[in-house]
């Protein structure tokens, strides 16, 4: 039995109760579109909103419920658009506001909801507010966290906080004051105690809700409130502490009042508009606070993504995640890949083994109670592109050692990002003058202190690295790692969202020639290569001409067109799984509200290396072993990631496979 023998007839027999009730988000499958790499409509090699709109039928046919768009707002692109200069305008790189409006309308006509990013912890340094702050406009600095420095002459940072991207979290401006930036210097943190900040973001949310979006993915939802007095931490390597212990700049209790206010705002609109927290907390219980009934609807659960190919670890993560969210009556979310981590085909070992495990993991994820997030191209089985040439790489992390001084905007704080006027913010103590290099086509600006990757999630450490902020060895929040050797237990997951010891690589050296620059270590470009749609050669239908990152020649066989209709393809496996997920009443979300066990999920005894659980009318088996395993058949097979052999009484599960059963 192979996955092409799916019992499609089930689709007409059942409907998902949660979807019918209007709480669509409780069991939604949400597809993340990295706009720059999805589809290019105008031939500049960069994806845009019109391109996304043209490919929405693919998502409708795939069977997802909603699409999440990464930032497309006006931005200098110092951190992939997570440095916003105008929250109410579309960057010309991606189109205009009319394109956004038409995309939302087209998605709704296809039955797809639209979620957009909002970035409330910080703005771009080119935001009019920050330009006004640097220009000395009265009261402008009160919207940000400006402080006098320590020491007799104020030449030391106000406290010992470190940027998630390495180095101090403070930059000194020309008049001697310092401003806080938990991420890149181009991303100054806002002060959420200021009433204008609160009012501004209420207005921003209403702007996009009025345009018709169905919700927001809230970037750094745990970071807007800092502890009173901004106390020292007293330790270095602070990025490695994120998600493991309390920190004065993350997960402060005050953020929950912000999210409660936003929930009231969302609830004032018709159509179940939702908020999704990208949040890190020291425990599952703390994370669950973000999804209490009067707060946000979902919070990203990165522990599943970070889990090794090990059944014991998987079961622990599943149980703890469900327990925490069940206690507050919220659904759990599951995710395997996104725009900041190595694709899970590669994380699970690469090649045939990595693909087999990735297919099985996707089926496991889609069978669990709650909501699932898919990253563009995973339905095609795309691997990480680990051999991009240096001249094509765009992630600012690649040149993170090439720090430059930050220009000060003109004295006239004119609206809009605009070009910066001459002027220099004081460099960090001991920082060398950076070497210069020629930009590549479509390269992102390298103004500022070499922006680091955006920390949507948690930390990682590099074995042998010292506590200092060397740009190549300091902990990086989103530093993809080279896949480990195939040892039989599988490659360890990329530590986008948790500590990881990365072996190899020394400190110092030119970032273009040091060992860390080989492969994709510390970079995010490999998961952002534009996806293939059709054709025998690049750009595979991505756009009229080339693509901003080169696509591998072997991707011709992985395109949407090549896989459509092939019952053994990864694309058709995803389509079948999503159809069955809608059709089978035992899949999807648990009932709302706390109860002893609203999930209807029960673990059953199984051989070593195998997970077996049931839900109403449904069973799932996952074999993580490198060899087949025999066990009693738990029902009638309806879908499998690899061919299974069964006589109706016993089943022979293939290695690295997942099978769904009806009974």
Catalytic annotation, residues: 219, 278
DSSP 3-state of 147: strand
DSSP 3-state of 648: coil
DSSP 3-state of 28: coil
The answer to whether the CB of 141 falls within 8 A of the CB of 178 is no
Both structure tokens of 28: 């939604």
DSSP state of 67: E
Instruction: From 129, 109, 113, 99, select the one nearest 200 (Cα to Cα).
Output: 129
List the Cα angle 439/442/496 in 5-degree steps. Answer: 95
Instruction: From 82, 143, 120, select the one nearest 223 (Cα to Cα).
Output: 120
Residue written as token pair 């694309």: 571
Instruction: From 560, 507, 558, 514, select the one nearest 533 (Cα to Cα).
Output: 560
Residues 6+ apart with CB under 8 A from 513: none
Residue written as token pair 């699970």: 348
Phi, psi of 382 (to 5 degrees): -65, 135
Give the number of C-alpha atoms closer than 13 A to the C-alpha of residue 311, restricted to the C-beta side.
20
Instruction: From 324, 244, 132, select the one nearest 497 (Cα to Cα).
Output: 244
Both structure tokens of 428: 């960090």
DSSP 3-state of 393: coil
The rounded distance, in Å, linking the Cα atoms of 214 and 103 is 13
Instruction: From 571, 570, 532, select the one nearest 551 (Cα to Cα).
Output: 532
The answer to whether the CB of 345 falls within 8 A of the CB of 381 is yes
Both structure tokens of 603: 């673990």
The rounded distance, in Å, linking the Cα atoms of 602 and 530 is 40
Both structure tokens of 554: 């072997």
Partnered with residue 90 across adjacent β-strands are 73
The rounded distance, in Å, linking the Cα atoms of 393 and 549 is 7
């Amino acid at each position: 039995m192979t996955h092409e023998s799916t019992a499609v007839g089930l689709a007409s027999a059942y409907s998902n109760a949660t979807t019918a009730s209007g709480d669509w988000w409780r069991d939604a499958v949400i597809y993340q579109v990295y706009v720059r790499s999805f589809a290019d409509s105008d031939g500049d090699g960069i994806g845009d909103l019109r391109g996304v709109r043209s490919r929405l039928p693919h998502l409708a046919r795939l069977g997802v419920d909603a699409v999440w768009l990464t930032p497309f707002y006006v931005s200098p692109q110092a951190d992939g658009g997570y440095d916003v200069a105008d929250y109410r305008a579309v960057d010309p790189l991606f189109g205009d506001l009319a394109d956004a409006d038409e995309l939302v309308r087209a998605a709704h006509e296809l039955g797809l909801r639209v979620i957009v990013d909002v970035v409330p912890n910080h703005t771009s340094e080119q935001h009019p507010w920050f330009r006004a702050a640097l220009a000395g406009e009265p009261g402008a600095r009160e919207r940000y966290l400006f402080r006098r420095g320590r020491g007799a002459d104020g030449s030391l940072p106000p406290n010992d906080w470190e940027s998630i991207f390495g180095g101090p979290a403070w930059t000194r401006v020309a008049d001697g004051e310092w401003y806080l930036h938990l991420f890149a210097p181009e991303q100054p943190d806002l002060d959420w105690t200021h009433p204008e900040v609160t009012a501004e973001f209420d207005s921003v949310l209403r702007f996009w809700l009025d345009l018709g979006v169905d919700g927001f993915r809230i970037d750094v939802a745990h970071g807007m409130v800092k502890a009173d007095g901004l106390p020292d931490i007293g330790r270095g390597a602070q990025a490695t502490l994120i998600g493991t212990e309390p920190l004065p700049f993350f997960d402060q209790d005050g953020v929950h009042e912000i999210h409660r206010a936003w929930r009231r705002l969302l609830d004032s609109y018709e159509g179940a508009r939702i908020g999704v927290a990208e949040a890190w907390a020291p425990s599952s219980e703390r994370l669950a606070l973000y999804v209490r009934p009067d707060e946000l609807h979902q919070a990203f659960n990165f522990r599943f993504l970070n889990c090794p190919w090990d059944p014991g670890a998987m079961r622990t993560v599943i149980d703890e995640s469900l327990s925490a969210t069940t206690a507050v009556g919220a659904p759990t979310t599951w995710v395997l890949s996104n725009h900041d981590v190595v694709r899970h085909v590669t994380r699970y070992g690469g090649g045939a083994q990595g693909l087999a495990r990735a297919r099985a993991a996707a089926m496991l994820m889609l069978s669990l109670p709650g909501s699932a997030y898919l990253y563009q191209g995973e339905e095609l089985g795309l691997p990480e592109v680990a051999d991009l040439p240096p001249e094509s790489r765009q992630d600012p992390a690649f040149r993170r050692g090439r720090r430059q001084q930050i220009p000060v905007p003109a004295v006239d704080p004119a609206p809009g990002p605009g070009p910066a006027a001459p002027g220099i913010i004081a460099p960090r103590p001991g920082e060398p003058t950076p070497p210069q290099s020629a930009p590549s086509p479509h390269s992102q600006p390298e103004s500022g202190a070499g922006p680091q990757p955006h920390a949507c999630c948690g930390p990682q450490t590099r074995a042998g690295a010292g506590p200092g902020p060397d740009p190549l060895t300091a902990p990086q929040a989103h530093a993809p790692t080279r896949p480990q050797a195939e040892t039989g237990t599988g490659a360890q997951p990329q530590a986008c969202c948790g500590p990881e010891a990365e072996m190899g690589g020394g400190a110092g050296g030119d970032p273009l020639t040091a060992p860390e620059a080989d492969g994709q270590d510390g970079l995010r470009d490999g998961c952002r290569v534009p996806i293939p749609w059709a054709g025998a050669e690049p750009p595979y239908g991505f756009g009229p001409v080339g693509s901003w990152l080169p696509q591998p020649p072997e991707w011709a066989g992985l395109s949407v067109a090549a896989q459509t209709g092939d019952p053994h393809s990864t694309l058709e496996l995803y389509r079948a799984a999503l159809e069955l997920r809608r059709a089978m009443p035992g899949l999807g979300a648990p009932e709302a509200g706390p109860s002893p066990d609203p999930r209807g999920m029960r673990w059953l005894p199984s051989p070593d290396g195998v997970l077996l659980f049931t839900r109403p009318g449904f069973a799932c088996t996952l074999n993580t072993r490198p060899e087949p395993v025999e066990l009693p058949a738990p029902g009638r097979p309806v879908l499998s990631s690899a061919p299974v052999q069964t006589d109706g009484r016993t089943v022979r599960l293939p290695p690295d496979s997942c099978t769904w059963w009806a009974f």
